[in-house]
Structure 1
């Protein structure tokens, strides 16, 4: 378990502090210094949770906080069974809780909890962007929503004790950093995109104008360490090589800062990146990638995060491995904390 009784504090998204008094049979949570909720716990085949008291008019927040605490404390916990006197309508409507055939009994499933878009996303979803098919460069695909700006995702990673976040790349702010990363010999070996500042400005301007691509900067505790490109696979060069769906997303990944290399860091940022893409549009059923087939280290990291290698294939510039992770597999085997 990532926590023990000596560290009864867990950071929440959007810089909030959640602390607890927890025993075998009880849990009390305090949010930003104010009592939020008290529940009774009974451990069995599933963890039984009985609501005893909560802050007035904050029942949804109280239910969410208890689920978050218990799932984050124990990555092996897959389901909570709640006992409630009143039907939690908001929680039922959102998918936080599921009604059962037993009166007053409700379930919270780990695989559903992590699909709730808030508070992980930087901007609340106003609804699914409407679908209208169009043709560009001879490819038929849905019209894409306008690109976001600023921070798009934030989560406290309990394994690292650090914030992992994603923000959109800003060319004037990030150009020198991007240039330095791309000219790193280790990165250059796989990306082959070394060049001058002006060449990289042109590269990023082209991506900024492309509706199918989104450029992102990955941060740990708000310090940039990586560059990611997320793209809609239907319009991408990868599309002819597999049975692509309209809302598949693809990723290109680059860790620029040596301090943030290693499997424990990859587990954090790769799960965050995939989590963001699945939350960004609930119609996205797969995330794909095409690393070089000889990049065994990266392929191994992706296997650790539940990707599978569908096949190897030839791009004009490289032999690639087609790596795929399905939505159901990601959330059912959810390694988020």
Structure 2
């Protein structure tokens, strides 16, 4: 950890921290937010903390150290809300107050934007011969934003806008590297029809991935219960599936994959806590993508035959993602 650094927050504010051998001061937009002294593995807070101050302490710790699993602290007059919302818990052995990485990254108000699917009631419908929950209206605009401290850049997701994104989608799909695996090359008119069909499909949301607000990738997030993948495994009502492509060559590489794939999975798990699994079905011979996914916590469940390809069923569970969470 460096003696001082700062973290931009999605709401435009900036969190900074100055600390010495034993002391720590957190500042929000330059104003003191929290002061603490280190006593062994525990922070002793100098005054009664707010929920915002405790959140900031956790974020500063976890963003600065991807291996840190918890923040232990002692404080007077802990706000009840911190316990009620699950930000703070007690250590099972010593009863110390703590904030666990596993819990922190599930509290997504800072990163998730717009309406969440979680707020939509569970009402069942039949479509295509399958019984499934009625899905919430699809989001519009930006849905996720987080500063990646490892990259030193913003990673964000927004919904695809056909008029704004058609030409880049066409360029990406016609690049030889993408064409090899997606096999969706075509004209602007063909790609407009493709995207209009996806926009009209209630089980699929099309997304554009951005780094520092520059579009570089296209994703499709779908509800697996209504998808063609459903017959090939024991699908749950709220499983989400993903299709992924990186269109801009400048944003390829393992470190970028770690950032955007983790952000994509994080967004979908935040969107609805009822989602327990994220699935994908890359072509079985796409060794590079499968290797990236396995490195980031997906496992290869099996191979199976789609009509158009031999696919590998890749699975990521909510439990595994948050327990092994490398977000920073």
Q: TM exceeds 0.5?
A: yes
Structure 1 gap segments, 5+ residues each? none
1:18 aligns with 2:12: no
Q: 3-state DSSP class of the match of 2:119?
A: coil
Distance 1:89 1:124, change over 3 A: farther
Matching residue within 2, 5, 27 for 1:4: 2
Q: Distance in 2 between matches of 1:127 and 1:314?
A: 33
How large is the RMSD of aligned CA atoms in angstroms?
Answer: 1.7
Q: Distance in 1 between matches of 2:297 and 2:162?
A: 33
Partner of 2:103: 112
1:240 aligns with 2:231: yes
Q: Deviations over 1:96-129 (max 9, x none)?
A: 1014589994221110000002100112659531
Structure 2 gap segments, 5+ residues each? none
Residue pairs, 1:10-159, within 5 angstroms? 10-44=7-41, 48-53=42-47, 59-99=50-90, 105-123=96-114, 125=116, 128-159=119-150
Q: Distance in 2 between matches of 1:91 and 1:124?
A: 23
Q: CA deviation at 1:30?
A: 1.1
List structure 1 segments (4+ residues) > 6 angstroms apart after TM superposition: 101-104
Q: 3-state DSSP class of the match of 1:123?
A: coil
**TM-score calculated relative to the size of structure 1:** 0.94
Partner of 1:208: 199
Q: CA deviation at 1:49?
A: 1.9
Q: CA deviation at 1:75?
A: 1.4
8 Å contact from structure 2 (residues 118, 273) kept in 1: no
Matching residue within 164, 178, 187 for 2:178: 187
Q: Distance in 1 between matches of 2:59 and 2:164?
A: 35
Q: 3-state DSSP class of the match of 1:75?
A: coil
Matching residue within 212, 222, 226 for 2:213: 222
Q: Distance in 1 between matches of 2:291 and 2:268?
A: 21
Q: 3-state DSSP class of the match of 2:170?
A: helix
Distance 1:332 1:197, change over 3 A: same
1:271 aligns with 2:245: no
Distance 1:124 1:87, change over 3 A: farther
Q: CA deviation at 1:42?
A: 2.8
Q: CA deviation at 1:323?
A: 0.2
**TM-score calculated relative to the size of structure 2:** 0.96
